[in-house]
Amino acid sequence: MRRSKVRHHRISPGEANVQAYNSNMKPILFTNGTILLADRELPLGQVLVVGDRIDQVEARAGAAPADAEVIDLAGGYLSPGFVDVHVHGGAGHDFMDGTEAAFRAVCVAHARHGTTSLLPTTTVARHEQHLAFLEVCRALRDRDTGGARILGAHFYGPYFAREMRGCHPGDPVRAPLEPEYEQYLSFDCITRATVAPELPGAEAFLRACRARGIGGNAGHSHATFEQMEAARTWGVTHVDHLFCAMSDRARLRIEQTYPMRGGVMEATLFFDDLTTEVIADGKHLQRELLLLAYKIKGPDRLALVTDCNRALDMPDGPYVFGPTDGGETILRQDGVGITRDGKSLASGVVGMIECVRTFHRLTGVPLVAVIRMASLTPARIAGAERDLGSIAPGKRADLLVLDRGLNVKQVFVSGTWVP
């Protein structure tokens, strides 16, 4: 294999303080394995990390710098860290518990499963509970959590269609009202916000989000295709958990026999400018639905998410989805969350590496593409693709050492090993 040209990262003035903070760290050289780039594998490659950034990516291993710590990949993989844009909790905690301890515990838990950046995601809850969530999210954004980095909030509930609320509590479901959502938006830590586009006030809410640089999501919605088409002009660019809690031709036909209409599902698949996500835990969606989503949207417009609740790494049994005061009791059973009556799904209970393994195993999609759906694509959805999501010089050294079975062996966030 021809040796590639060595690429170096020049530190920009805006990075100087961060780099100085890490100036006492030894360079790290990852070698003896396959480097998973955004578009290809480097079977004999190596990566040099200096401080908190990737400094060099080479297609063929060479000599290590004299002062470098060498990480032997042992024939495994070096992957970019995963980015989860839809995650509620883990290790017995939910972000809606509204405490720094809960936030940190969830971030540590998901780092063990390969997630190095995430968007803490709200549930339907009372107004003061959302305020408490946003207070903590703002305080911990881009700070050391001991695990995954918090990029910002995914403001997900409470603006859902009542009939599409899923496992969320019914009483606090409501339409967006300006005096309320202006309080939420004032925290300046929301990265993406979800609303059912058919609700009164949805247009004004989405336009207010867009004016602040917040990405608009459609989710838990009974909207028609026509309403989704309009919502794109208001700021919707992403749709939550494809095939779950959304209208389609069959659901809409209950209200109108003819002509049959498309809903959120059809609009998501039709419009090329809409990105979307799948919960690839092997429980929410069968193989054929994962393949359909991938065939139509492709790896650059389809992200993997966990939609994980507090039951990650916990035994089977009952758990509260959302805040302990007012949330809904669900069950962890058979590797997924279900409602107490056993008739509906109630979010996920596995981490991102499990979703990567499951999608790859069920679909046969090349590993590089699956990794991209768990890293660069969600980083782009979160507006962080210039800094995160792929192994390239100048990007943050958020890296995973994986064995050949796609098990997480080591996690690095900004060049620092996460135990």
For residue 35, the cross-strand partners are: 42, 78
Question: DSSP string spanning 224-293?
Answer: BHHHHHHHHHHTEEEESSTTSSB--HHHHHTT--SS---BHHHHHHH-TT-EEEEE-SSSSS-HHHHHHH
3-state secondary structure of 368: helix
Instruction: Please name the amino acid found at residue 278.
Output: V
Residue 136 sits in the same domain as residue 283: yes
Mean pLDDT for the stretch of residues 390-418: 98
- Does residue 7 fall inside a structural domain? no
Instruction: Please provide the average confidence, as pLDDT, over all residues in the chain.
Output: 94
Taking only the tens place, the pLDDT of each residue in 135-177 is 999 999 999 999 999 999 999 989 999 999 999 999 999 999 9
What is each CA distance from 46 to 22, 62, 234, 306, 413, in whole angstroms?
A: 21, 8, 45, 30, 18
DSSP H or E segment with residue 168: none
Residue 263 sits in the same domain as residue 138: yes
pLDDT at res. 24: 53
Q: List the structure tokens of 33.
A: 């394995």
Give the torsion sign (CA, 218, 223, 229, 234): negative
- Does residue 178 fall inside a structural domain? yes
Report residue 123: phi and psi, to 5°: -120, 175
Q: Contact at 8 Å (CB) between 368 and 36?
A: yes
Residue 101 has, within 13 A of its CA and on its CB side, a CA count of: 2
What is each CA distance from 255 to 169, 208, 260, in whole angstroms?
A: 24, 31, 10
Residue 73 sits in the same domain as residue 109: no
CATH number for 403: 2.30.40.10
> Residue 183 — pLDDT band, cuts 50, 70, 90?
very high
Residue 123 sits in the same domain as residue 24: no
Mean pLDDT for the stretch of residues 67-96: 98
Residue 102 sits in the same domain as residue 223: yes
pLDDT at res. 63: 86
Residue 156 sits in the same domain as residue 26: no
Share of the chain above pLDDT 90, in %: 92
pLDDT at res. 4: 36
pLDDT at res. 19: 34
Q: What's the domain range around 46?
A: 13-80+391-417
> Residue 13 — pLDDT band, cuts 50, 70, 90?
very low
| pLDDT tops 70 at residue 14 | no
Domain count, the chain: 2
Q: List the structure tokens of 414.
A: 């900004």
Residues with Cβ within 8 Å of 186's Cβ and at least 6 positions away in sequence, in order, are: none
Residue 19 sits in the same domain as residue 90: no
Q: How many secondary structure helices (H) and strands (E) does the chain include?
A: 12, 24
- 């883990």: which residue's tokens? 90
Give the torsion sign (CA, 204, 205, 208, 213): negative
Residue 129 sits in the same domain as residue 179: yes
Residue 73 sits in the same domain as residue 187: no
pLDDT at res. 12: 32
| pLDDT tops 70 at residue 287 | yes
Share of the chain above pLDDT 70, in %: 94
Mean pLDDT for the stretch of residues 228-232: 98
- Residues 406 and 228: their CA atoms lie apart, in Å, by 38
CATH number for 286: 3.20.20.140
| pLDDT tops 60 at residue 236 | yes
Q: List the structure tokens of 193.
A: 């916000």
Residue 30 sits in the same domain as residue 119: no
pLDDT at res. 2: 32
pLDDT at res. 354: 98
- Does residue 8 fall inside a structural domain? no
3-state secondary structure of 295: helix
Residue 17: Cβ-neighbour burial (10 angstroms; 0-12, 13-18, 19+): exposed
Taking only the tens place, the pLDDT of each residue in 341-353 is 999 999 999 999 9
- Does residue 168 fall inside a structural domain? yes
| pLDDT tops 90 at residue 304 | yes
- Does residue 6 fall inside a structural domain? no
- Does residue 4 fall inside a structural domain? no
Residue 87 sits in the same domain as residue 76: no
Instruction: Please name the amino acid found at residue 36.
Output: L
Q: b/e per residue, 210-234, with b = 16+ CB within 10 A?
A: beeebbbbbbbbbbbbebbbbbbeb
> Residue 192 — pLDDT band, cuts 50, 70, 90?
very high
Mean pLDDT for the stretch of residues 387-411: 98
Question: DSSP string spanning 87-139?
Answer: E-EETTEEGGG--HHHHHHHHHHHHTTTEEEEEEB--S--HHHHHHHHHHHHH
Residue 76 sits in the same domain as residue 100: no
- Does residue 3 fall inside a structural domain? no
- Does residue 50 fall inside a structural domain? yes
pLDDT at res. 11: 32
Mean pLDDT for the stretch of residues 403-417: 98
Cα-to-chain-centroid distance, residue 380: 10
pLDDT at res. 61: 85
> Residue 62 — pLDDT band, cuts 50, 70, 90?
confident
This prediction has a pTM of 0.94
Q: List the structure tokens of 249.
A: 């031709």
> Residue 23 — pLDDT band, cuts 50, 70, 90?
very low
| pLDDT tops 60 at residue 406 | yes
> Residue 407 — pLDDT band, cuts 50, 70, 90?
very high
Residues with Cβ within 8 Å of 283's Cβ and at least 6 positions away in sequence, in order, are: 334, 335, 336, 345, 348
